[in-house]
Amino acid sequence: MVVTGEMISSIAESHIGSDDWSNDSSSETGPGTDKCHFFVADIIEQAGGSVPKKWLGIGGPIGVKEWGDPKSEFLLADDNWELVKTQPEEGDVFSNGKHVAILTGYRTSTHAGKDKIVRDNWGFKPGKSAKDYTFWRYKN
């Protein structure tokens, strides 16, 4: 199956309002912890793709810092992912090293918020530009 940016975006948006990956949720790492990287990994996997795992392929998905690192050894070593240097597209994953989201529209992202999955302008707020973030694209 070919995984497209549109598929990733659509699946991400289908979870808007869910509290499964929210900071307040008790899932995965417990309440009061960021779960945005779990959200991204789960969406990619629901689309039929894969996300690199920590600790030599076992354990949880890579964290926010890896998504925000343009030199991530995990992502660069994975043939399914490519660094996006220009023209981010719907379905791309992007991070500033502190939070990670999925691009789901023009200057719009879908991501795990404090109490639910939201679609807003995170990553595109005034004073920010694409150069403040690292973008990755799933390729087949």
Return the CATH number at 102: 3.90.1720.10
Q: Which element (helix H / strand E) includes 135?
A: strand 134-138
Report the alpha-carbon distance of residue 77 to residue 87 in Å, rounded: 22
Residue identified by tokens 């920590």 is 54
pLDDT tens for 19-38 read 888 776 656 655 555 679 99
Share of the chain above pLDDT 90, in %: 71
Spell out, as residue ranges, where the chain has pLDDT lower than 50.
none
Give the pLDDT confidence score for residue 56 in this predicted structure. Answer: 58
Domain coverage including residue 134? 5-138
Count the domains in the chain.
1
Give the pLDDT confidence score for residue 4 in this predicted structure. Answer: 96
